[in-house]
Structure 1
């Protein structure tokens, strides 16, 4: 389910649901009880007239149901455009920075104008339909009241009803129909609420993925991946019969170009990507048999977009280990060369903005790594953890990874091959399959896909370094 739909459902959807239960349903029950109550009162005065008024009341909901049948297609189209407009608006709002960068905001605004105009037109059609149905309901309501009044006058002329009884019927005849008539005017609110409830309850009723109940207790974890296949969609398979061995306390790297399936494997190991085919075993037992809580307490994932929450540095670090002492937190910050900076900014009580936006990209990643170190799990997965950061932070993070590899199991995922040369084993992914496995020297000697990609990156980095030196010399001159 996309994020735009969730946001719209949690905001406007819940608001419509509240209106549905607070206004529409209360009016619905009132519209049922009011005519029955009035019938009981007026039947003591004149039964035939009261019965006539009561029998005319159901004509209004019959009109409503007929309108719904006729307008079903129109309403379906209306809600499709309505929710589509909300999704489109939220998506463009989330991507506003990108739109500005590429100067595409004007085009996006024009798209929104066209969508808004489509919504205006379909809304006018729905309101026109409602107006027509309201006119019919008015005719029934006031026509039914008139019939009741005429019936009362006839019985008065026959002498079967008193003058006070006639006045009571005249005053209350319209009240038979007005609650149901008002319910008809709430038709739009009711439809919005029902549609919102359908979406919310359909979301809440989505089946939960089956989860195991076994608990991981060993500190040394041997991970074995055999014939692993995975696809996000039936037509787009990401992994094809992947085989990888990650022994306990080993340093294994997954490399390959973007889209080769590296992060998908990390998601499977973390229990996020369900529905894989093949076998993923931890210490000889299938991954699916373990509870997610057990997996997360033994495997830590550090990605290139680890989130930092608004609050203090202390609060963010305590997420890694709630019982961590101040000394332990400072030691973790020292390992990522961030302690002196944090102390200069107020220490562990330094305030962070949402996602650490008052830190540089490298500082954010190093703080996320310090939090991960406090988590202290047997297995660490680094998924492009050194992407899009400065060279100093990249070097620092790689040093921490190599230190961790001496006592932990490390799975390093990287598109930059220079980062994985010291790995115990390197698995080269290509088009969702393992193309080569071996140490850095072995793979270079084979002169295959790994060696070709390594040379390409080396030449590119050498060219970039030469360019930087030339620019520096030119600036100095």
Structure 2
């Protein structure tokens, strides 16, 4: 049920919701002042001796209530905006927290742009439910109840007719909503996918400029935009058709009631002031009935978005163990096999035991499974066969494991913010002394000497830096986290030989007594390891020192022939 899913998010904002509800109910009650005042003025004017005092009294009440409604609207609007800021900020933070805990492979299947789009939809619709739909529903119920009481006070036959409209409206909208819910869910998925694809094109601006065929890429974007608009039009057309039919039905019933009112007037069962009164009351009644039905129709978007929360974010959350990894005293790979989605094994018959102080280089041809090891080690990919301190890696909580095991990938990932903020990313309270030590290392010199130094704001993924500078920042970030196991996966590939030598010397010094794993195609990097493992087709084909492998392993010699 949607109510069970949204109520926990609203409890912390109950004051805002209650005030908005109260304001909406007061505004609804004010709306009834007009028909009551008109009836009383007409009755006062129709007396044998008109009562000007009564006419002015009710006229003043009429104007005063509308002025009160205007002032109430001003206050409610200010509260609404404050509620919007607070709710959307906090709710989106909660959603992104859940997104970051999502299974890595499930995330990769959809990609970032899709989830950003869906989270934005869900945030807006959840707020609309809390601040618009809930008060509007309450107002509609109050308005319908009061209107029916007024109708009953004039004529019970008209009251009975008004009662019959309620189930007709409810079941009519409920029937069409079933189809609309599925259409809306499909639309939200399609829209987010196309948004992701547009973002995927636009973010590659350097390649677009290099390739110069702007019309080609504009057409690529336009194809996705046209798809979004087509989906939107199909859904919108269906919604409009439903709305037009229901409006036609409501207008038909409304006019039927008005004709019934006129018939009662001509039969002298009701007076002219009562005719005017009922005409205004029925306008309010049908307006509330249409609003209530429209809210029911609009709930399809909210339900589809909350289905996304339950079925895609929460259902696919990462699952870790309960043990806390405080220190790594031993690391072991004993893997019989690992494959992506049940396809050909990427890793097979891979065995490796390491202890603190060990440094090992893992080498092999592209596609042999080297980089996969880093994702298995940090449990981005799930497989048995990796153990820490004699316990399976899956037994440890993901947070404690990733604090102690750090994988530095070849492609650096930088965040919006300054260089300094990127170096300390992920640390709520960075160690100031450690920070000064890291940024003072020789390999950080040219970054310190940039025109804004460590305060330089980074553009999209650090596009205003060189590839080597981006890699050095991610390595500085790793050093700030001070893990027990470090896997450097081609993480110096954008550096020249001298810069790489300076950086790796600093890394080795600060990682003394830790487990250090190199994955590289550079002989200069590989030779830093005391042990070298050669991989072939996901398995270990050779294991030894540089001198041993140079003499005994043909695969190793072929890999580095051009560098020896």
> What is the TM-score when the length of structure 1 is the normalising length?
0.81
The yes-or-no answer on 1:428 pairing with 2:538 is no
Task: Find the counterpart in structure 2 of residue 353 from structure 1.
Answer: 458
SS in 1 for 2:317: coil
Q: Residue in 2 aligned with 1:49? A: 158
Counterpart-to-counterpart distance in 2, 1:245 and 1:283: 11
Match of 1:226, SS state, is strand
Alignment equivalent of 1:322, drawn from 423, 427, 430: 430
What residue number does 1:229 align with? 337
CA distance in 1, matches of 2:307, 2:223: 28
Does the 8 Å CA contact 2:264/2:270 hold for their aligned counterparts? yes
The residue that corresponds to 1:5 in the other structure is 114
| Alignment match of 1:408 (pick from 496, 510, 514) | 514
Q: Alpha carbons of 1:356 and 1:10: their partners in 2 closer, same or farther (altered >3 Å)?
A: same
- Indicate conservation of the 8 Å contact 1:263/1:383, yes or no: yes
**Structure 1 residues 366 and 148: alpha-carbon distance in aligned structure 2, compared to 1, 3 A threshold:** closer
User: Are the counterparts in 2 of residues 333 and 367 from structure 1 also a CA contact under 8 Å?
Assistant: no
Q: Are the equivalent residues in 2 in contact too, given 1:240–1:432 (CA < 8 A)?
A: yes
**Contact 1:221-1:247 within 8 A present in 2 as well:** yes
State the partner residue of 1:464.
none
Instruction: Find 1:276's aligned residue among 372, 376, 383.
Output: 383
Give the structure with the larger strand fraction: 1
Which digits, 9 at most, give the CA deviation of each residue in 1:298-344, with x for residues without a partner? 3333333444556566555556782342xx54543454343486268
Listed as ranges, the gaps of 5+ residues in structure 2 are 1-106
Over the aligned positions, Cα root-mean-square deviation in angstroms equals: 3.4
Maintained 8 Å contact 1:145/1:177: yes
The residue correspondences of 1:105-116 to structure 2 (distance < 5 A) are 105-116=214-225
Match of 1:136 among 231, 245, 249: 245
2:330/2:354 contact within 8 Å kept: yes
Q: Which moved more, 1:140-149 or 1:25-34?
A: 25-34
- Cα distance in 1 for partners of 2:171, 2:373 equals 57
1:265 and 2:370 are equivalent in the alignment: no
Structure with more helix by fraction: 2
Query: In 1, distance between residues paired with 2:224 and 2:452?
Result: 49
Q: Is the 8 A contact 2:542 2:553 kept in 1?
A: no
**Worse-superposed segment, 138-147 or 304-313:** 304-313
Q: How does 1:436-447 map to 2 (within 5 A)?
A: 436-447=542-553
Q: Deviations over 1:180-201 (max 9, x none)?
A: 3245556775433333332234
Q: Secondary structure at the match of 1:255?
A: strand
* Aligned 8 A contact 1:249 1:407 in 2: yes
Alignment of 1:325-404 (within 5 A): 325=433, 329-339=435-445, 342=448, 350-354=455-459, 357-403=463-509
Q: Where does residue 250 of structure 1 map in the other structure?
A: 358
Distance 2:254 2:160 in 1: 12
What is the CA distance between 1:38 and its match in structure 2? 1.3
User: CA offsets per residue over residues 22-75 of structure 1, 9 Å max, x none?
Assistant: 334443444444323211221122112111022124333433334445667765
Post-superposition shift, 1:3?
Answer: 0.3
Change (3 A) 1:13 1:314: closer
Distance 2:504 2:466 in 1: 18
Q: What is the distance in 2 between the residues matched to 1:19 and 1:343?
A: 49
Q: Distance in 2 between matches of 1:203 and 1:322?
A: 33
SS in structure 2 of the partner of residue 173 of structure 1? helix
Q: For residue 58 of structure 1, what is the aligned residue in structure 2?
A: 167
* Residues 356 and 513 in structure 2, CA contact (< 8 A), matched pair in contact too: no
